[in-house]
Structure 1
Amino acid sequence: MEQKTQRKTERKTGTASSKSRLSSVANSLRLLKVFSDEDSEIGISALAQRLGLAKSTVHRLASTLIGADMLEQNPDSGRYRLGLALLELGALVRRKMDVSNEAKPYLRMLRETTGETVHLAILDHASVFYVTKLESKQAIRMSSEVGARAPAHCTADGKALLAFQPDDFVDEVIGFGLQGRTQNTITNAKALRRDLAAVRARGYAIDDEESEIGLRSVAAPIRTQSQTVIASLSIAGPAHRVSRRALVSYAREVVGAADAISQRLGCRPLRALQSGSGARAAQPPSRRVV
């Protein structure tokens, strides 16, 4: 009987603790949203009044946010202001929005020139996240959804992104396990590292029925002004239509488009393809230079 009572008490304590944490998170977010252009620095009394919280609670929340660099305290006035961590997060969101907008005309161009499905993707831990997709107009085509995720180690988009990540990040992805999707999936750590080295050398990645039987794709990385790879551009289609020879041809197209997007994001012109044929920076139809 005592054990049952103890378990109930533990459950209640755990539930109360969870609710308290959620309340703290919600109040922290409310606190951050109080700041504006007009009120860039606010004192603790004003914050407590606007939030309807005790000063001690606001002080505790502010201390936690300062520790995370999301809030700063003016050493002269003692007032609080937004921290650099929020600027970094905002810049990250802005870059993602910028690359999506800049990629749209090139996605349209690639779909028109190849007739296949094209994607813009970003890396999310051990997965790729499809940000934008333009589907092939042909009856038989690759099926995918915006917002869907796929394993990074066996997709062209994923390998185009993984190839330019730090070694410890790749090690972490490998640590999650390289699950086999088909008989072509790379499931060996050394083999994956060799493949990623080849991606870096030639400037594009290939999925030769590694994620799904009957599907081939090719992808190239998109860089920012700092040379950081933040997204990938890909062409994908059924294997009966996208031969290995076609993949090489599509590689030139996708590298050229990815380089053009990178240049529009402030990155300097990148390398030529390993074959020796320079990948021209593609121009979308609406922006083609005559």
Structure 2
Amino acid sequence: MERKTKPAAEKTRLSSVANAIRLIKTFSDEDYEIGISELGKRLKLPKSTVHRLASTLVDAGMLEQSEENGRYRLGLVVFELGSLVRRKMDFYSEAKPVLMALRDKTEESVHLAILVNSSIMYINSLETKKAIRMRLEVGVRKPAHSTAAGKAILAFQPADVLARVLAEGLNEHTANTIVDAEEFKRELALIRTRGFATADEENEVGVRSVAAPVRDHSGNVIAAISIAGPVQRLTKKVMAAFAPDVVSAAESVSTRLGYHPLRSARAHRLA
């Protein structure tokens, strides 16, 4: 069998990206400013190559060049990206005790999910201690339109986000999956009115779930907390009883993230 090789131009691009990453990772608290010659030695690259990489990174805001000594240091874009990662880590940390309390109170599996394109991705999952459980690995993705967590997030997204999901199609996973666009819009309107979402065997036969949206400091819905369980335990009556607990947990995490309804509403009016 003939082995396919990458074109020379593609190899060059990949090599440049790899070297750019290596260059950025050279900086540290001790070596926060480094000159071209020193960078070349550490990376074992020609000065001309390092200068070209550094210039590109300066244009992208990833590096800055000191006017005093000509050395390079990490730019504001790297700081902004680091802050974004830190906020995600803070989000996870702030949510965990709330999720644990919700699991202990309901004795059912509790999940934290975010929206990724037209799917949700679970970033935390705490299993029930009962024998029959809804096991979910962190990082698992499921369709947003057929899950309670997904619907809880989609109900509060901008119109273009919903339009993209509808354009991709509402695939049927069970007989209960909502596949009609207009019916799905009505479902989201109901979620906005009552403040929580449910999924009654819509993604998987034998499983029900209830979820509520989590907001960041500006009031944007960035995640959802959900409870999931087998239909034998999570009856419609039990699911309705758990809904206020899920909403309360989501509101608690939102508050921890700096969300205040009045302040957020005022900011949106000014915007």
CA distance in 2, matches of 1:82, 1:18: 27
After TM superposition, the structure 1 stretch with the greater mean CA deviation from structure 2, 63-72 or 108-117, is 63-72
Corresponding residue of 2:101: 109
State whether structure 2 residue 123 is matched by structure 1 residue 128.
no
Give the 5 Å matches for 1:231-250.
231-250=223-242
CA distance in 2, matches of 1:217, 1:94: 30
After TM superposition, the structure 1 stretch with the greater mean CA deviation from structure 2, 94-103 or 190-199, is 190-199
Give the 5 Å matches for 1:100-179.
100-179=92-171
> 2:170, 2:180 within 8 Å by CA — same for their partners in 1?
yes
- Post-superposition Cα deviations, 1:40-86, rounded to whole Å, max 9, x if no partner, equal 33333332232221222223323333344323344565443323332
State whether structure 2 residue 33 is matched by structure 1 residue 46.
no
CA distance in 1, matches of 2:185, 2:78: 34
CA distance in 1, matches of 2:63, 2:190: 43
CA distance in 2, matches of 1:41, 1:132: 38
Unmatched 5+ residue regions in structure 1?
Answer: 1-6, 271-290
Q: Secondary structure at the match of 2:248?
A: helix
> 1:45, 1:55 within 8 Å by CA — same for their partners in 2?
yes
Q: Secondary structure at the match of 1:145?
A: coil
- Quick one: structure 1 residues 189 and 30, their matched pair in 2 at CA, closer, same or farther if it must change by over 3 Å? same
Number of residue pairs matched by the alignment:
261
State whether structure 2 residue 239 is matched by structure 1 residue 257.
no
- Post-superposition Cα deviations, 1:127-171, rounded to whole Å, max 9, x if no partner, equal 111111111122222232222111111111112222232222222
Q: CA deviation at 1:253?
A: 0.2
Taking structure 1 as the reference length, what is the TM-score of the superposition?
A: 0.81
- Quick one: structure 1 residues 74 and 165, their matched pair in 2 at CA, closer, same or farther if it must change by over 3 Å? farther
Q: Secondary structure at the match of 1:131?
A: strand
Q: Secondary structure at the match of 2:121?
A: strand
Backbone CA RMSD of aligned residues:
2.4
CA distance in 2, matches of 1:58, 1:86: 18
Taking structure 2 as the reference length, what is the TM-score of the superposition?
A: 0.86
- Quick one: structure 1 residues 99 and 57, their matched pair in 2 at CA, closer, same or farther if it must change by over 3 Å? same
- Quick one: structure 1 residues 153 and 83, their matched pair in 2 at CA, closer, same or farther if it must change by over 3 Å? farther
Corresponding residue of 1:228: 220
- Quick one: structure 1 residues 113 and 86, their matched pair in 2 at CA, closer, same or farther if it must change by over 3 Å? same
After TM superposition, the structure 1 stretch with the greater mean CA deviation from structure 2, 135-144 or 109-118, is 135-144
Q: Percent identity?
A: 57
Pairing partner for 1:80 from 47, 68, 72:
72
- Post-superposition Cα deviations, 1:102-150, rounded to whole Å, max 9, x if no partner, equal 2222222211221211111122222111111111122222232222111
Pairing partner for 2:178 from 186, 194, 198:
186
Which amino acid is the alignment partner of residue 249 of structure 1?
A: A
After TM superposition, the structure 1 stretch with the greater mean CA deviation from structure 2, 51-60 or 231-240, is 51-60
Corresponding residue of 2:87: 95
Q: CA deviation at 1:218?
A: 0.9
Corresponding residue of 1:61: 53
